[in-house]
Structure 1
């Protein structure tokens, strides 16, 4: 269910349209905002989980940033208002992201069918099983949820084109050197340790089908087969070492990884605009780089390239 679309104000006016949506889930509808490029059909679908230490934040708060991500990537972006602490604890948030991914897959399949119908000389039945690519992503605590959702998709045999992770905190103990290298930078180790305690269920529950629902991908003993990853962090971000460690673990497991560390950049950079470049407004920002990376990662291969 969705409301009529609206134009996004600012630099993306008339380039992105958005609508409210309610994603069905076993625990009840999950609110979301869906952003689509206005000039063309989406290249795929990206489910995005906002930051906020699992305690705060909303799709509305992330409105401009996710709209620009849709504009740059060419994807439809479903920004999810997942449930927050203290009303719930893990795994409720991961379940909400997984519900949004299931809904996005339905949208991607229907959109693929519509595109096939528009192609002269082809019958829908010949390619009815095709779908546009579906990816998951998030920033900060939302990136942690996205990484856990990607592992759940692997365990359930569900296709996922990519995971876009902007500076996820991954170690509940906050033991990496970067937490101590920048002790006064947000988020501090003490702040994050308290957030982890509020977020995590000590019983580490599994889903109804018995598959694990990790609170951090560092809990997974085996990362093989998880979706290819695009990771971004800043050289002044206290969680930076977590991101680099995860990139190494993924690479060791045979997972395709793209990692970029932005210079003179702290936590929260997904919400910050970038300078204008030849690629258009904002493409020099961290979120602009993520959007370009997603577009390139999911582009069809060029024959002979």
Structure 2
């Protein structure tokens, strides 16, 4: 189907980006300026900012408790933003909806970003928080059962990479991985996937923008051939946690996510690949208020609870 009319209208109203090189500081400030005041955000039982000690250093996190309970499953969430944008604030609404819909206690990770922090700083932060969550389960009221990782876009890269890192370390505590329109192949050859050409222009994120948007990360030392940078490069996906891969019909990165899902299924990993018609990249962050897309949170809840 064509791009959802409400998304199309929103994109048409957006001003053209300023000319010249990308300015991370200005772009971050622009994102933060659109964050809702706390009083207007989805209310939960508790929201707490903490600093988590990890082998890579102290990492800020925000912990979302949906309701009072004796114990909780956990979901560790990594925000998107091409490895240099996004924050605990810009994705606060995503984390709140994840907590409210799943009933899990959500730990959102304020990982270090490029270009200030070179690879693999952000990835180390994400993995460190997952390990901390498992090791401090009593402190978090963890039920010892569900420990999911989730991420959107570049956060999906981190979620897939963290799941692989844990598996390689013999750590089987991660029970689910939720990859929302993930960036899984940072080799930006436009002939690699049909969606890179089919969705090249007019849908928000454009194929020509992928390389410059990810340049801060790649220039910091992230090698596109490294499976921790491009999870599609991992030769053997056997033994990874069950996955929900959510893609968008009009996303240039649609096909790499769906290929990853097929490869997981080919080696026996339980996987659901769910394509959202009429949607473009970033729809969970920007357009999940549209009823057709709000259901993504229910789909995530059903997945982590085995429904």
Deviation at 1:194, TM superposition (A): 2.6
Aligned to 1:121: none
Q: Indicate yes or no: 2:207 matched with 1:194.
A: no
Aligned to 2:31: none
**Separation in 1, partners of 2:271, 2:282:** 21
Q: Indicate yes or no: 2:307 matched with 1:292.
A: no
Give the one of 19, 26, 33 matched to 2:48: 19
| TM-score, normalised with respect to structure 1 | 0.78
Contact 1:90/1:215 (<8 A) preserved:
no
Aligned to 1:258: 272
Contact 2:120/2:222 (<8 A) preserved:
no
Give the one of 56, 61, 73 matched to 1:32: 61
Aligned to 1:226: 240
Q: CA RMSD in A?
A: 2.5
Give the one of 104, 110, 117 matched to 1:81: 110
Taking the TM superposition and a 5 Å limit, the aligned residue runs for 1:92-171 are 92-110=121-139, 131-159=144-172, 160-171=174-185
Question: Could you list the runs of 5+ residues in structure 1 that have no partner in the other structure?
Answer: 1-7, 116-130, 206-211, 277-281, 298-305
Tell me the alpha carbon deviations over residues 152-210 of structure 1, each in whole angstroms, 9 at most, x when there is no partner. Answer: 010001121010100011222233111110111332223212334432365759xxxxx
The count of corresponding residues between Structure 1 and Structure 2 is 262
Aligned to 1:49: 78
**Separation in 2, partners of 1:31, 1:97:** 11
Aligned to 1:239: 253
**Separation in 1, partners of 2:67, 2:121:** 33
Tell me the alpha carbon deviations over residues 37-70 of structure 1, each in whole angstroms, 9 at most, x when there is no partner. Answer: 1243453111100010001110111111211110
Contact 2:119/2:221 (<8 A) preserved:
no
| TM-score, normalised with respect to structure 2 | 0.78
Distance 1:179 1:213, change over 3 A: closer
Question: Could you list the runs of 5+ residues in structure 2 that have no partner in the other structure?
Answer: 1-37
Contact 1:167/1:240 (<8 A) preserved:
yes
**Separation in 1, partners of 2:41, 2:58:** 31
Distance 1:64 1:41, change over 3 A: farther
